[in-house]
């Protein structure tokens, strides 16, 4: 049974949504991924959102561009956390998606990450799940320690090579 549902409105969202899936896989969290257009196939969407709890989903990550109704509609139907990922769009740079997701009416909350923030959506879903899973919490602590080590290694290289050498060897 999957713990997280990942749903996107179009396959053009896949590169960003894949970053959420990559994080979940790295942390050993099960998920199910789907492409569903809330506007073009509302019956399929409603069935997805209505059945998500029965499927065992504890969190839904929903990504959408332009009108970006998918996360909000998930939150209107699914009683547990929904994380919206606003997608970068060519017309308005993703601000349209961002505003559509964050400007939800009172009573219908949607957590929102940065435009194209797939990895952070995966991490936020993991943190939500970790509130009741000590092993997952430890994996998240280890993940954060790994990030710290990466930054420390980069700084050590900078101190050793100076900024010019660092930039030349960065490629």
What CATH number is attached to the domain comprising 37?
3.40.50.1970
Q: Cα separation of 119 and 166, whole Å?
A: 26
Question: Please, what's the largest Cα pairwise distance for the chain?
Answer: 60
Q: Do 66 and 138 lie in a common domain?
A: no
Q: Cα separation of 118 and 112, whole Å?
A: 11
DSSP code of 80? S
Q: Do 143 and 71 lie in a common domain?
A: no
Which residue segment(s) compose the domain that 44 sits in? 4-132
* pLDDT reported for residue 75: 97
Whether the per-residue pLDDT at 150 is higher than 70: the answer is yes
Q: How far is CA 27 from each of CA 66, 88, 129, 141, 151, rounded to the nearest angstrom?
A: 31, 26, 11, 11, 21
Q: Do 106 and 39 lie in a common domain?
A: yes
Comparing 18-27, 32-41, 134-143, the range with the smallest average pLDDT is 32-41
Q: Do 98 and 127 lie in a common domain?
A: yes
Is the Cβ–Cβ distance between 2 and 28 less than 8 Å?
A: no
CB-neighbour burial class of residue 138 (10 A; exposed 0-12, middle 13-18, buried 19+)? exposed
Among residues 123, 124, 135, 65, the alpha carbon closest in space to that of 98 is found at: 65
Q: pLDDT, tens digit, for every residue of 104-124?
A: 999 999 999 999 999 999 999
Q: Do 168 and 102 lie in a common domain?
A: no
Question: Could you tell me what percent of the chain has a pLDDT over 70?
Answer: 99
Q: Do 125 and 147 lie in a common domain?
A: no
Q: Do 121 and 152 lie in a common domain?
A: no
* pLDDT reported for residue 171: 64
* pLDDT reported for residue 39: 87
Q: How far apart are the first and last CA of the chain?
A: 42
Residue of 17 and 91 predicted with greater confidence: 17
Q: Do 117 and 152 lie in a common domain?
A: no
Q: Do 19 and 70 lie in a common domain?
A: yes
Looking at the structure of the chain, the number of domains it has is 2
Among residues 92, 40, 38, the alpha carbon closest in space to that of 66 is found at: 92
Q: Do 45 and 117 lie in a common domain?
A: yes
Q: Do 71 and 126 lie in a common domain?
A: yes
Q: Do 103 and 165 lie in a common domain?
A: no
């Amino acid at each position: 049974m999957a713990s997280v549902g990942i749903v996107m409105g179009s396959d053009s969202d896949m590169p960003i949504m894949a970053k959420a899936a990559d994080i979940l896989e790295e942390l050993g969290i099960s998920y199910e991924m789907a492409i569903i257009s809330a506007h073009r196939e509302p019956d399929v969407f409603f069935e997805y959102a209505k059945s998500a709890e029965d499927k065992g989903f504890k969190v839904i990550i929903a990504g959408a561009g332009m009108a970006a109704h998918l996360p909000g509609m998930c939150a209107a139907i699914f009683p547990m956390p929904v994380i919206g990922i606003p997608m970068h769009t060519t017309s308005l740079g993703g601000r349209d998606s961002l505003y559509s997701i964050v400007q939800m009416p009172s009573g219908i909350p949607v957590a929102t990450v940065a435009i194209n923030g797939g990895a952070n959506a995966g991490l936020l879903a993991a943190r939500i799940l970790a509130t009741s899973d000590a092993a997952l919490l430890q994996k998240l602590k280890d993940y954060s320690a790994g990030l710290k080590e990466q930054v420390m290694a980069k700084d050590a290289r900078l101190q050793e090579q100076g900024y010019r050498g660092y930039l030349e060897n960065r490629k």
